[in-house]
Structure 1
Amino acid sequence: MTATTATRAHARLRPLGATSARWESGFWGDVHDRTRDVTIPQIWSSLSDPAVSPGLTNFRIAAGLAQGEHTGPPFMDGDFYKWLEAAIARLETDPDPELAARIEEVARLIASVQREDGYLHTPTIISTRNHQDAIELADRFNFETYNLGHLITAGVRHYEVTGSTTLLDAARKAAGFLEDLATNKPLELARSAICPSHYMAVIDLYRATGDEQYLRLSEAFVRVRDDFEGGDDNQDRLPVREQTVVAGHAVRANYLYAGLADLVAETGDEELEAVLERLWRDVVDTKLYITGGAGALYDGASPDGSPWQDQISRVHQAYGRAYQLPHTTAHNESCANIGLILWGERMLSLTADAGYADVIEQVAFNSLLSSISLAGSEYFYTNPLRQVRELPYPLRRPGDTAIHPTPPPPPSDERLREPYLSCFCCPPNIARTLARFHERAASLGEDGLYVHLYGGSRLDVTTDDGRRLALREDGEYPWSGRLTFTVTDASSSRSLSGSAAGSGIPLHLRVPGWSSGATLTVNGEPVAVSAPGTYTRVEREWTAGDVVELTLPMPVRVLRAHRLAEEATNQVAVRRGPVVYCIESADLPEGVALEQVAVRRGAAFTPVEAEIAGRRVVALETDAVILPGADDDALYDDLADTELTTARVRLVPYFAWGNRGAGEMSVWLPLVW
């Protein structure tokens, strides 16, 4: 199979569907299996159980199949659609007649609720059914366009995987409603266009149907937004082409820029592409956590937006100033981190620049996987870089939102992943991202096959002129940097007529930006490797049995932060390959507190096999410096004149933290010279 669509005329790379790219073994193969067997069924169990979640019940009430009022947040419909997208992805990779029937049943339920004009928002429809006043788009925080965007995306995927038009028809009608708004009620559309999933969605619909009205609708979204005088929270203070830095709500920002990148892939708008590249660099160079977390602040303001106090925007779940990267209070909403993957993969498709794949990998192995337990059934809403005991103030729990407050949170050292969150946007987003993660493994371009991510892939592509290349990746990435790609099939249109000719599809292997000293061989013969942060091109007539071996040395790296990242002053973080490490109180000697552990300059770190919650990981052991203890009650105190001691400590992958009960954790550690 070739790429999933013939559009994307201005993109260098095209994505691969499940018949062309799979995670069949290794690290990501295990994650795929866990997502299929645990995460997707567990979320359905929550959404379909009225005692746990109103997700399914709201649709049943809206359809007249049950009585009651709408409950839950107004964006619950969108969260339900995200689970549906995850389930459809599971159906594509692992066909299941029972699941297929359930998905079609759910699709029919959803379609039965939709109004003839395409509007679908269960709070409004339930209120109307109950003879209560209900007006669409009355409150921007009802998230109607967000919900409709995810409905369209799920409808397109359902059609692509099953051929059913049940949800595709609903998607078309939803897009028709949005088009009517863009034409006749542009102000209402602009004001309600928060968390703009609909930007990406209508491009998906255009690609699935070939109907250019949906491409024109995407362009209309931008015009409507640019004419609206908004604020920084929703990135609508300035027209998109005038934006120079990323500000405001991180999920909304990343979704917006991902949608604009989709538009560039169809129109070739070079000016808009340059804007997106500039904004990407602002995030990656000044606002991105070492874990790939995005959106540092719980709540804040926009102090740099205007000199006039009455013009300052409230900013929620936000990108802060450059280098404003707190540790304990870091927000890093799981949806924002996923949004960065969505944005990054679209920029990668446009440019074939390996730097975007580097960031996708950084997010994936760290902040994405930290958002879900190793068991695959509990979730974080936020992803801090430090957790400490006995905070004198509460931090927002995963289920808390400004719109729907929950009871006061427990002590901060009890902050753990939860199987269900009252603000349920993140778990199904995590599920659909992992269920479709095979799509991030590789892409096909006019100049060959690009392999972006490693961890157990099986790739099988055919070009428009009939050349085929199939590869199997073996190795223990990310724990080992030795990767082996075996050609399992290679043919061309010539070989189909009886000749022995192989496939000449060039192979492009990413040399990660974090690597140094990479080597490459083909059938044992050395091949020159390009610089870190690029793709190494291997061009030859492939035949079945050819073996490509890429070796990426993985020394432990001790990293410092920029001088303006104040919370990391005189501290270091530890990374090996793509994996960032942290220390947990569970791995400290008795009597040693988290804040006493320091790293000595030049310390040696030894990789060791370990198991956490039944999952294999590679931990790092080192002799840490143990600093003197301090009086927890004193704001300032004399430095104790105590001899420093050392102790053997263990660091674990950041994504694995919080799986052994309540405790403290830190990515950044003091440095002792």
Structure 2
Amino acid sequence: MPTIARAKSSLLQTERAKPLPLASVRLLPSPWLDAVEGNRRYLHALEPDRLLHNYRTSAGLMPKGAVYGGWESDTIAGHTLGHYLSALSLMYAQTGDAECKRRVDYIVDELAEVQRAHGDGYVAGFTRKRDDLVEDGKVIFAELKRGDIRSMGFDLNGCWVPFYNWHKLYAGLFDAQAHCGNSKALPVAIGLGGYIDGVFAVLSDAQVQQVLDCEHGGINESFAELYARTGDTRWLRLAERLRHKKILDPLTAGKDVLPWIHANTQVPKIIGLARLHELTGNPGDANAARFFWDTVIRDYSYVIGGNADREYFPAPRTISKHITEQTCESCNSYNMLKLTRHLYGWQPQARLFDYYERAHLNHILAQQDPATGMFAYMVPLMSGSARNFSKPFDNFWCCVGTGMESHAKHGDSIWWQSADTLSVNLYIPSVATWADQGATFRMETAYPFGEQVAIALEQLDKPRSFAVALRIPGWCEGATLRVNGKPVPAGSPGDYATIRRRWTKGDRITLDLPIRLRTEPTNDDPSVVALLNGPTVLAADLGPASEPYEGAPPALVAANLLAGFAPVDAAASRFRTTGIARPADLSFAPFFQLRDRRTAVYFRSFDEAGWQREQVAFAADQARQQDLARRSVDVMNLGEMQPERDHGLTAKNSYAVTYRGRHGRDARTFGFFEFTSKVRPGPLVLQATYWGEERDKLFDILVDGTRIATEKLSGEHPGDFFDKDYPIPEALTKGKETVKVRFQPANDKTRCAPVFGVRVFTPADPLKTT
């Protein structure tokens, strides 16, 4: 087991980069400052006592405010408080807002009181639900210690992700200590650590792994950080024990096990390994972090820097097949940016911040509406989709929590220091104080809309020699650099331009980064492309989000796509197509700004011959659909309110879903859905539509109580919806005008996959051609 001395010495073996403290950076007017101010208004609007409601009731204390709605009224209750505590602390560091610090101190005092009332170190706000009974989540830990462990992915003994919840609380306590100087936060963290350690101390290693099969955030990071702040090796031992071997061992060995597993569940575990590497020097932990980052960026990331579809990693390098309304959960990019910071600290590389800039600009800024301060859970990329923003007091999704944090710290990764070098990684207008050199820099720029970045050395206690390194983005050709008006070498794309000289107060650096329009293909299909202007992802504006988009996905048809774009307002990255878009020309603007619009980000591209072939194939499919419509007896559009009412749908533990623009319905464990369908005499077929990559779904289909099929879906039709036909025995419809159709899991361990429509029709006449 590493000793404290060894851990400290490992940190000193190489000079690492670290960002300038957030409190040393102040943002100037820009979209990032707009985001911070919108977030600050929201943080002020929230009431700490309402977020503390379940914490106090758990300890037998009278609550001081009514519980909020949404997830805060569900079994994940309490997770928002940890995010809120972090966001307040970060906002205080970023802006000096005294009200944010006052709230931090108040919340920590309240948590300390809750912990004293429990008397055993426990402090939490989550609950457990059994049928209609909602009870304090603390009850599950006695069960775990007895060996009664029921881990179901996101549910641990009936409680929704309790260790994930604690990871957020720990982060909030650490941020309160680090950014607000709160001296009471660490004792609360230590007391809670004692309680958690007591739970795991009585479990075998196999039982620990069983617990970790439930999403647990980065609880390993929490205890690594507790060790770093206390020097107590008890917490290091616990951090290393809380290693989810099923996922982390293969990644350490360089094996990709990400397909079809929940994406954001994995990133915090990897961040935990990164933090452990920094404390112990274990090379395997660093290898896992680097391999994971490289794999996700190369094989699973979209043009805006986000990843995952329906929250899960699909098959690698299949981006073109997963452009849906459920892409890019915002928590994922929040965590990928945190991981990127760790990797950059070990070995500064411009490519790391090429990714960071991409996701920070095109996903994180797109996630928030600065006018309202609200956040999007998903940032969808499917043509015609729009962002769904949270409501102030009625959602409290995970992405609301990470959104509060993301938009409280936009200054945290602009300026980095390493030895006597100051690196500029993000071109965000700001003023930064580099205390080690007694220097203050002011950066003014209209980037990413303007090409010039001007950096002035506003204050310097005395002339000094040091280096300033400026990142030249990987996409940028022809950058130019001047110091006090004199040209100096600008470096290569994807590298740094480093200026080492003796500096004096008033020196000025001017960097010009030529911005050009360009296309970028998906990683699996070069004919599916997105459009960027410099670092900014552009999107076609398909109309207001308040109105439905009913057209086909637009396409681009030209031998030279870029020649078909004309600037409308180049300084604002706004363009319009000139005859190359189908079915009509399109206006393009920065994706992150189109918050209240329906958009298209990816486009299938064709030459003229390819487009003609596409039209022929479309006409053939339309003829097939028309023939099927003529033979249809009844059509059930599942997941749509009026058709479900018209068909008398009844359901239990079943939910309407929308995926790729199609509505459907699932049935979960112990659930079902059932509806009335018209029938007619003679042979009939029941046809159900499924998404072709559903896995591990086993369910029965019944007609008037008789099972006509048991379906097992295992991902046999990747990348598309497909129809499955089930003949209905004529005995079940004889003499009837209607029947009951029922879908239900085949046993108490399975689910019925989402069904995206059901049709009852007469078989085609084999002698008739269409």
TM-score (norm 1): 0.76
Amino acid paired to 1:190 = Q
Query: Could you tell me which residue of structure 2 aligns to residue 295 of structure 1?
Result: 308
CA deviation string 1:240-296 (max 9, x = no partner): 523422512211221111221122222222333233222222111111111111123
CA deviation string 1:62-95 (max 9, x = no partner): 2421499996333332222101110111222333
Contact 2:421–2:467 (8 Å) recurs in 1: yes
Query: Could you tell me which residue of structure 2 aligns to residue 203 of structure 1?
Result: 224
Identify the match of residue 351 of structure 1 among 347, 350, 358. Answer: 347
Identity %: 22
Structure 1 residue 372: Cα displacement: 1.5
Amino acid paired to 2:349 = D
Identify the match of residue 33 of structure 1 among 32, 37, 45. Answer: 37
Q: 1:548 to 1:35 in 2, by over 3 A?
A: same
Contact 1:619–1:652 (8 Å) recurs in 2: yes
Counterpart CA distance in 1 for 2:138 and 2:28 is 52
Contact 2:251–2:292 (8 Å) recurs in 1: no
Task: Check if 1:670 corresponds to 2:605.
Answer: yes
Q: Secondary structure of 1:264's match?
A: helix
Query: Could you tell me which residue of structure 2 aligns to residue 65 of structure 1?
Result: 62
Counterpart CA distance in 2 for 1:356 and 1:100 is 32
CA deviation string 1:5-47 (max 9, x = no partner): 99954562123212323323333233323322x34234x25x7
Query: Could you tell me which residue of structure 2 aligns to residue 440 of structure 1?
Result: 413
Q: Secondary structure of 1:595's match?
A: coil
Counterpart CA distance in 2 for 1:664 and 1:31 is 21
Structure 1 residue 553: Cα displacement: 0.6
Task: Check if 1:77 corresponds to 2:78.
Answer: yes
Amino acid paired to 2:103 = R
Contact 1:62–1:129 (8 Å) recurs in 2: no
Counterpart CA distance in 1 for 2:9 and 2:434 is 15
1:44-443 correspondence runs (5 A)? 44=46, 55-63=51-59, 64-66=61-63, 72-114=73-115, 115-123=118-126, 134-136=139-141, 139-140=150-151, 141=155, 142-185=160-203, 186-193=205-212, 194-222=215-243, 225-226=244-245, 230=246, 235=247, 238=249, 240-245=251-256, 247=258, 248-296=261-309, 298=310, 317-325=311-319, 326-388=322-384, 416-420=388-392, 422=395, 424-443=397-416
Query: Could you tell me which residue of structure 2 aligns to residue 398 of structure 1?
Result: none
TM-score (norm 2): 0.67
Counterpart CA distance in 1 for 2:92 and 2:216 is 27
Structure 1 residue 208: Cα displacement: 3.7
Q: 1:244 to 1:557 in 2, by over 3 A?
A: same
Q: 1:514 to 1:117 in 2, by over 3 A?
A: farther
Structure 1 residue 435: Cα displacement: 0.8
1:580-619 correspondence runs (5 A)? 580-586=537-543, 593=551, 595-598=553-556, 600=558, 601=560, 602-609=562-569, 618-619=573-574
Counterpart CA distance in 2 for 1:71 and 1:419 is 13
Give the stretch that moved more between structures: 423-432 or 375-384: 375-384
Give the stretch that moved more between structures: 118-127 or 262-271: 118-127
Structure 1 residue 322: Cα displacement: 1.1
Contact 1:111–1:170 (8 Å) recurs in 2: yes
Identify the match of residue 578 of structure 2 among 602, 618, 623. Answer: 623
Contact 1:203–1:215 (8 Å) recurs in 2: yes
Q: 1:337 to 1:97 in 2, by over 3 A?
A: closer
Q: 1:454 to 1:58 in 2, by over 3 A?
A: same
Q: Which has the higher contact order (CA 8 A, sep 6+)?
A: 1
Q: 1:462 to 1:504 in 2, by over 3 A?
A: farther
Q: 1:609 to 1:201 in 2, by over 3 A?
A: farther
Counterpart CA distance in 2 for 1:486 and 1:604 is 40
Unaligned runs of 5+ in 1: 50-54, 299-316, 389-412, 496-501, 611-615, 629-645
Amino acid paired to 2:592 = F
Q: 1:206 to 1:130 in 2, by over 3 A?
A: closer
Q: 1:652 to 1:14 in 2, by over 3 A?
A: same
Q: 1:417 to 1:617 in 2, by over 3 A?
A: farther
CA deviation string 1:104-126 (max 9, x = no partner): 22222222223444333324599
Matched length: 566
Contact 1:20–1:461 (8 Å) recurs in 2: yes
Contact 1:146–1:195 (8 Å) recurs in 2: yes
Task: Check if 1:655 corresponds to 2:612.
Answer: no
Amino acid paired to 2:315 = R
Task: Check if 1:15 corresponds to 2:19.
Answer: yes
Give the stretch that moved more between structures: 371-380 or 133-142: 133-142
Contact 1:483–1:550 (8 Å) recurs in 2: yes
Counterpart CA distance in 2 for 1:48 and 1:155 is 17
CA deviation string 1:432-474 (max 9, x = no partner): 12212211112211241121111112221133xxx33321100
Contact 2:76–2:126 (8 Å) recurs in 1: no
Counterpart CA distance in 2 for 1:469 and 1:171 is 36
Give the stretch that moved more between structures: 355-364 or 243-252: 243-252
Amino acid paired to 1:443 = W
Counterpart CA distance in 2 for 1:664 and 1:512 is 26
Higher alpha-carbon Rg: 2
Q: Secondary structure of 2:304's match?
A: coil
Structure 1 residue 561: Cα displacement: 2.4
Counterpart CA distance in 2 for 1:571 and 1:26 is 32
